Amino acid sequence: MHFSQKVPVSAEDMKTILKNNFLGLEDVVIGKTIIPAQLKSTRTLLKGEMHQFMEQVFHWGIDHGVTLTYPQESEFYRARNPAS
């Protein structure tokens, strides 16, 4: 995958960029320890939050000339195509 001026970006790096752009940062609490300003994890998102994130990524792709696909058997596909 390439991003901005054809600079190579790994899939994991792209995920990090998109999570930063659309999910932002949060404090992580582990017991009594607080780790401030960590990239928000997609694992902790509720179903609606994940759908919103995926919509943002999908539209980011359109805006940047990247066609993103998603499987027809996925929840995201069913949510975007309720008549299917």
Pair of tokens at residue 51: 């759908």
The per-residue pLDDT for 2 is 47
Residue 39: its H or E element: strand 33-39
DSSP 5-26: TTEE--HHHHHHHHHHHHT-EE
3, pLDDT greater than 90: no
pTM over cut 0.85: no
66, pLDDT greater than 90: no
The per-residue pLDDT for 32 is 98
* Rounded CA separation 68/82 (Å): 19
CA distances from 14 to 8, 44, 53, 58 (A): 10, 19, 14, 13
Q: What is the pLDDT of residues 45-57, one digit of tens each?
A: 999 999 999 999 9
